[in-house]
Amino acid sequence: MLTEWHAKYGPVVRAGPNRISFANPDAIPEIYGTSLIYPKSDSYCPMEVLAKGDALQSIITIRDEKRVTGIKRHVAGGFSQTEWLKQEDQMDGTISALLTQLRKKPAGTVIPLREWLGFWSFDTLTSLAFSKSRGRWSINPNMNARTVATPGGATICNTFIPQGTDVMMSSHDIKNCTWMFGPDASVYNPERWIRADEQKRRDMERSAMGFSWGRRVCMGQHLARIQMKKLLASLINTFK
């Protein structure tokens, strides 16, 4: 729905009585940067897990910025690329299991690879977390997390946002921004990166929100990058 609205009304859309959605890469540093903190909105509350009637918060759902910073400070070292590579053998095991399952498919079978990669990703994460695959497969839902405009309001992409207004950005809409990624932004086209000059490449990389940005950047991005490189290489090397 948001994608349709942005296509019709432009990069700034009022998505609710107190909610503004931005589909302009220029808004990323303002909303997700580190210089000015936009607190998380109550849209994070439904993601809390309930146990015996009590809400159990995680680093994703905690809205106290100081508390989140403190938690990250203590655990960030364990999420570095160096630390993840120490568990590379466990990733190799789940890749091997996936390749084994795919080999069982008859020749010519069309495989819903997106679904299978979701299965593999879940098994890999549980293996790394518990040293044992849980055997339950899942695909992560697409979410648009929101933050709240700071005291005094804010000006984002030349648009004044009153204090207390929810502001949000959808990574899906950002990566389909034609003035940044070209008229074929929605098409798989690696050449746009290969042929771009250095400045354009930096601008596109800055606008990519696959792992969010700034204070909201995903702590697991190093693991995800390792997984993607290893798995894609294994698939291409194994199958025609």
Q: How confident is the prediction for the chain on average, in pLDDT?
A: 83
pLDDT at 199 over 90: yes
DSSP-H helix ranges across the chain = 2-9, 28-32, 65-75, 81-85, 88-103, 113-130, 171-175, 178-181, 191-194, 198-207, 221-238
Q: What is the pTM assigned to this prediction?
A: 0.67
Kindly state the helix (H) or strand (E) to which residue 178 belongs, with its residue range: helix 178-181
pLDDT at 34 over 90: no
Nearest to 72 by CA among 227, 223, 221, 215: 215
pLDDT at 215 over 50: yes
Nearest to 123 by CA among 206, 231, 42: 231
Q: What is the mean pLDDT of residues 81-86?
A: 89
CB atoms within 10 A of CB 189: 13
Return the pLDDT at 144.
57
Interhelix angle 221-238/113-130, nearest 10 degrees: 130
Top-ranked range on mean pLDDT: pick from 57-61, 78-82, 150-154, 214-218: 78-82
Band the pLDDT of 143: cuts 50, 70, 90: very low
The CA distance from 156 to 95, in Å, is 43
